[in-house]
């Protein structure tokens, strides 16, 4: 059975939910999956011992979580050797404006270049607006940003933009890559 490590960073929980869904889809495809929060990695974590690695991170103020930067830079060699995939979660990826969606692509590409990592597959993923989880100031700022984008500004509710079907298709594409590689065990 192929083994896959899913490592993620998440500030308000959407990428955590996405990582869990990635794990579920791989599990259903017959893969032995381990999902790890990059903020609290197990002490003996060795990505090089898996048959593939998926990394997820979300964008805040133009950058991905530092915990994920640390994970990728620490394990760059294994990530470049194994089948690997990166999902970058943001509101820009949810925008109706193609230019804003290009910004999300640009931040994804810039992250990979900074890290020196060339994953086999990448996906910008639309995240969520979780007004109920923001403090007052963040709620105010996010409402203004959403307003500028003609997005959802009713702060009495949360909004989720993630396209779960697109994510599932992406994960199955990744699972196909594992079959193309010799699996351990
Ligand atoms: C304080 C803050 C800053 C954010 N900055 C950006 C940003 O610069 N670009 C963007 O596209 N999305 C931005 N977002 C949206 C998040 O990427 C989006 O809400 C995502 O779903 C968060 O995922 P998480 O819950 O896994 O952290 C920001 C969200 C917050 C709360």
- Residue-wise pLDDT tens digits, 105-140: 999 999 999 999 999 999 999 999 999 999 999 999
CA–centroid distance, 31 to ligand 1, in Å, is: 30
Q: Separation of 61 CA from ligand 1 center, angstroms?
A: 7
Residue 54: what pLDDT? 98
Residue whose Cα lies nearest atom 6 of ligand 1: it is 60
37 CA from centroid of ligand 1 (Å) = 17
> What is d(CA 120, CA 87) in angstroms, rounded to the nearest whole number?
11
pTM metric for this prediction: 0.96
Residue nearest to ligand 1 atom 20, measured at CA: 127
- In this predicted model, what pLDDT tens digit does every residue of 61-108 receive, in sequence order? 999 999 999 999 999 999 999 999 999 999 999 999 999 999 999 999
Number of domains within the chain: 2
Tell me, yes or no, whether 37 and 90 share the same domain. yes
Distance 51 CA to ligand 1 centre (A): 30
Does one domain contain both 150 and 83? no
Q: Are 121 and 139 within one domain?
A: no
Give yes or no for residue 122 CB within 6 A of ligand 1: no
* Residues 108 and 156 occupy one common structural domain: no
The predicted pLDDT at position 148 comes to 87
What is the domain range of residue 154?
Answer: 129-161
- Do 69 and 156 lie in one domain? The reply is no
Would you give the DSSP letter of residue 73? H
How far apart, in whole angstroms, are the C-alpha atoms of residue 175 and residue 169? 10
Assess whether 71 and 151 both reside in one domain: no
What is the reported pLDDT for 150?
86
Note whether residue 185 is domain-resident. no
Tell me if 48 is assigned to some domain: yes
Instruction: Indicate if the alpha-carbon torsion angle 32, 43, 18, 87 is positive or negative.
Output: negative
Which atom of ligand 1 is the closest one to the Cα of 128?
A: 21
Residue of minimum CA distance from atom 29 in ligand 1:
60
* Whether 137 and 58 share a structural domain: no
Same domain, 142 and 76: no
In a domain, 107, yes or no: yes
Do 55 and 142 belong to one domain? no
Looking at the fold, whether 62 and 152 belong to one and the same domain comes out as: no
Where residue 55 sits, what CATH number does that domain have?
3.40.50.360
CA of 30 to the centre of ligand 1 (A): 32
pLDDT in tens, 5-57: 999 999 999 999 999 999 999 999 999 999 999 999 999 999 999 999 999 99
Same domain, 46 and 106: yes
What is the rounded distance in angstroms from the CA atom of residue 30 to the CA atom of residue 68? 26
Return d(Cα 7, Cα 35) in angstroms, integer: 6
Residues 74 and 25 in one domain: yes
Residue 35 maps to a domain: yes
């Amino acid at each position: 059975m192929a083994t896959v490590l899913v490592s993620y960073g998440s500030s308000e929980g959407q990428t955590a939910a996405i990582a869990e869904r990635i794990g579920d889809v791989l599990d259903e495809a017959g893969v032995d999956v381990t999902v790890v929060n990059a903020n609290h990695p197990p002490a003996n974590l060795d990505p090089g011992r898996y048959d593939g690695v998926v990394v997820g991170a979300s964008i805040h103020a133009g950058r991905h979580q530092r915990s994920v930067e640390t994970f990728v830079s620490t394990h760059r060699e294994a990530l470049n050797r194994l089948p690997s995939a990166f999902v970058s979660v943001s509101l820009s990826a949810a925008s109706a404006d193609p230019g804003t969606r290009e910004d999300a692509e640009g931040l994804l590409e810039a992250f990979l270049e900074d890290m020196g990592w060339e994953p086999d597959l990448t996906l910008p993923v639309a995240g969520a607006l979780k007004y109920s989880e923001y403090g007052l100031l963040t709620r105010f700022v996010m409402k203004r940003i959403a307003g500028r984008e003609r997005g959802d500004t009713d702060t009495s509710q949360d909004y989720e933009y993630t396209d779960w079907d697109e994510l599932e298709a992406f994960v199955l594409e990744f699972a196909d890559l594992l079959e193309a590689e010799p699996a351990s065990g």
